[in-house]
Amino acid sequence: MLTTQQDRLMGEINNLVDVHGSERSALIPILQDIQKRYHTIGDFEMQVIADRLGIHPVEVYGVVTFYSFLNEGREGRFVIRLCRTISCDMAGKAAVAQQLRNDLGIEFGETTADGRFTLEWANCIGMCDQGPAMLVNGKVFTRVTPEMVHDILAACEKTFGPHTPQTEEEHAL
């Protein structure tokens, strides 16, 4: 990693510590912000956060690997989480899953080579009366059909320009 990049990350983590505090209880809010901005929580970030909070980096690693919304591997810019739990299963989640695989060319748990999309399973997301349901970067889609998959992916693609910075809009989608 370049020093300038490291400096930028350290600056960012310092800012987050100013916002959330340097208590242990600030750890998860800090990690959530890093995840949201960088789509991964790398070794360097974990080390710096550990130093700032005065805890061992293994403690940070333990937390990152425990929660499904925190990730030490790189996630795509758009994370699709399709509910696999029973009510969505009965409502036809398998066909939606297959179309997502077909259109993205990846399996669940994988990220597209261009780093745009990650496909994940979710456990019940509280939309069981309107399944199949899925989350795309936190936005909820209900009664998803295989036919809708293309349009949803296209809407994500649309927010990419050649050099677009990560915007709030992108996170909202």
Partner 1 sequence: MTIRNEITLASVVKNEGLAVALELKPAEVIKTVRDSGMKGRGGAGFPTGLKWEFAAREKGEKKFVICNADEGEPGTFKDRVLMSEWPDLIFEGMTLAGYAIGASEGVFYLRGEYTYLQAGLEKCLAARRKANLLGDNILGKEGFSFDIHIHMGCGAYVCGEETALIESLEGCRGEARNRPPFPVNTGLNGMPTIVNNVETFAWATAIMAKGADWFKAIGTDKSTGPKILSISGDVERPGVYEFPMGTTIDDVIEAAGGQDAKAVVIGGASGHCIPRTEFSRAISYEDVATGGSVIVFGPHRDMLDVAENFLEFFVDESCGQCTPCRIGNVKLLEGVRLLQLGECSTSYLQDLCSLGETMQCASKCGLGQSSPNAFLSIVKHFRNEILGRA
The β-bridge partners of 122 are 83
Which of 12, 50, 87, 146 binds partner 1 (CB under 8 A)? It is 87
Q: Which is nearer to partner 1, 103 or 125 (CB)?
A: 125
CA–CA separation, 9 vs 74, rounded Å? Answer: 16
Q: Which is nearer to partner 1, 29 or 105 (CB)?
A: 29
Residue 147 binds which one of ligand FES, partner 1, none, with CB within 5 to 8 A depending on kind? Answer: none
Judged by CB under 8 A, does residue 10 bind partner 1?
no
CA–CA separation, 23 vs 17, rounded Å? Answer: 9
Q: Which two tokens stand for residue 54?
A: 């005065």
Is omega for the bond preceding 29 within 30 degrees of 0, making it cis?
A: no
Q: Are strands 117-122 and 78-83 parallel, antiparallel or unpaired?
A: parallel
Q: Which stretch binds partner 1 (CB under 8 A): 9-17, 63-71, 110-118, 152-160?
A: 63-71
Judged by CB under 8 A, does residue 26 bind partner 1?
yes
